[in-house]
Amino acid sequence: MSDRGLSRRQYLTTVGGTAVTLSVAGCSGDGGSGGDGGSEQTITAGTAPGFPPFEMKEGGELVGFDIDLLEAVVEQTDYSFEGWEEFEFDSLIPALTNNNIDVIAAGMTINEKRDDTIDFSDPYYSSDQAIVVRADGDFAPESLSDLADRPIGAQKGTTGEGVVQDELVGQEITESQYNAYDNYVLAIQDLENGNVDAVVIDVPVANTFAANRPVEVAFVYETGEKFGFGVRTDDDARQEALNAGLSTVREDGTYEELTQKWFGE
């Protein structure tokens, strides 16, 4: 009696008559093609392009640091990667809790408010908020109080919006002087057009826009944020797998390669 015989018999017990063709699959680890029953072992990721260099569209293709990093991390796990779904940033958490996606990879800051609804992987990047202005130089704020009575933009549902709401609205600016955008690309366009005088946005993304468009970072407001991958609160298995994968890609040099590629650092 061999082990092989035993496992085949277990197969027959589990899946009945169809096991004749499936029994070979027992040695292959299934590769995700074993039918519809595999959703336990798959990851569909969600992101919000328009946040360069973390995620953006280039020639119709979704690219960026988060895209490469998450795919490299999932590669280290037993999960098979099913692909990307795109959303506006403030629809990502609902998409996760509704099971439309399994992981959020969107430069999302780990914070207490979000931690009530979802869980996060270990941190994979740090950021502060930048105050971005037009590069022509006639408005050069140095602190939040210099933004008084100016129209200010940020992306809906972000920590940048949080800075505007908590530090500016009702103090330096009125409610109607805050312009909330579905994505940061629209906010930066409105800054270029003169419809807002500053945009509050994560530093690495601000630097990317500044390198490619007529805008510049006026000053940095320190928030000490850390980005993590979002997972459902009850999904300890994916959380642990992602954390293990993250530490592997940090150790094997992949993480450093990717920061080089996307941030030149």
The interface region with ligand GLN, picked from 16-24, 71-79, 103-111, 242-250 by CB under 6 A, is: 103-111
CB of 218 to ligand GLN, least distance (A): 19
Give the span between the Cα atoms of 216 and 254, in whole angstroms.
31
- Sign of the dihedral through C-alpha 186, 206, 92, 94: negative
Q: Please report whether residue 246 would count as binding ligand GLN according to CB under 6 A.
A: no
Q: Which of residues 11, 65, 147, 155 is near ligand GLN by CB under 6 A?
A: 155
Q: Please report whether residue 159 would count as binding ligand GLN according to CB under 6 A.
A: yes
Q: Which is nearer to ligand GLN, 88 or 235 (CB)?
A: 88
* Integer angstrom CA distances of residue 166 from 92, 162, 172: 22, 6, 11
Encoded one letter per residue, x for contact with ligand GLN by CB under 6 A and - for no contact, window 15-34 reads --------------------
Amino acid occupying residue 185: V
The answer to whether 243 and 103 are in contact (CB under 8 A) is no
CA 86 to chain centre: 11
Q: Please report whether residue 103 would count as binding ligand GLN according to CB under 6 A.
A: no
Q: Which of residues 191, 202, 215, 242 is near ligand GLN by CB under 6 A?
A: 202
**How long, in residues, is the chain?**
265
Question: What single DSSP character describes residue 261?
Answer: H
In the Cβ-directed half-sphere of 145, how many Cα atoms lie within 13 Å? 0
Q: Please report whether residue 48 would count as binding ligand GLN according to CB under 6 A.
A: yes
State the residues that interact with ligand GLN by CB under 6 A: 48, 51, 89, 106-109, 155, 158-159, 202, 225
